[in-house]
Amino acid sequence: MILINLLPHREIARQRARQYFNVSLVLAAVAGALVCLIIFLWFQLMISNQKGRNDTLRTENAKLDQQIKEVASLQSEIAALKARQQAVESLQINRNLPVHLMNESVRQLPDGMVLRGIKQENQNVTFTGSAQSNERVAGLLTNLYNYNHSQWLTKPDLVEIVAGSMAISPKEQRRVYNFTIRAQLAQASAAQEAASAKPAGAAGKN
């Protein structure tokens, strides 16, 4: 028996092909959307991770800024402590300076001279007194100029010398020369080092 298909098979084939094509388009669209969603989520994850790293860097920078401020504060405190220490050391070194100044003045004073006053202003020392002659005043200046003689007084300068008279007794007057000499006071630490090194140098020469 022969069967004859009278249905429009070509039209049915076209419909099936069209359905396959539409399904393929839908599947492709869904796959594309999934890929875009995955890429979007991946980028969001990367951005989130980068934001986390940025937040960590900002936090660490803030900590470092605070540490830098603390270090700067410590440095200023250390500088203040050093300044106080230097001030205390300077006071300790210079506390015996008036005694050394008096001893040095007496030691450098030649015979035939009398000191009437010693005035100190910061590092400047002014001597006033009387001498029997100009040569005595020149001798005092020479002693002060010579570093081997004086480690406590430097850069002497004759301010003035004026001839005058001194009453030795009610009936006797003696001609004298009133002088004013200004010198600079050496640093106590340097003077002490020079004074302590001098005997060693003298011993080496012997």
Domain limits, the chain: 11-95, 97-191
CB atoms within 10 A of CB 186: 21
DSSP-based three-state secondary structure for 78: helix
Task: Indicate the pLDDT class of residue 124, thresholds 50, 70 and 90.
Answer: confident
- Given a cut of 80, whether residue 26 has pLDDT beyond it is yes
Contact 164, 130 (CB under 8 A): yes
The CATH number assigned to the domain with range 97-191 reads 3.30.1360.100
For 29-41, write each residue's pLDDT tens digit.
Answer: 999 999 999 999 9
Closest C-alpha among 153, 134, 135, 133 to residue 144 = 153
The radius of gyration of the chain from alpha carbons, rounded to an integer in Å, stands at 51
For 63-91, write each residue's pLDDT tens digit.
Answer: 999 989 888 888 888 999 998 888 887 77
Please give the pLDDT value at position 164: 82
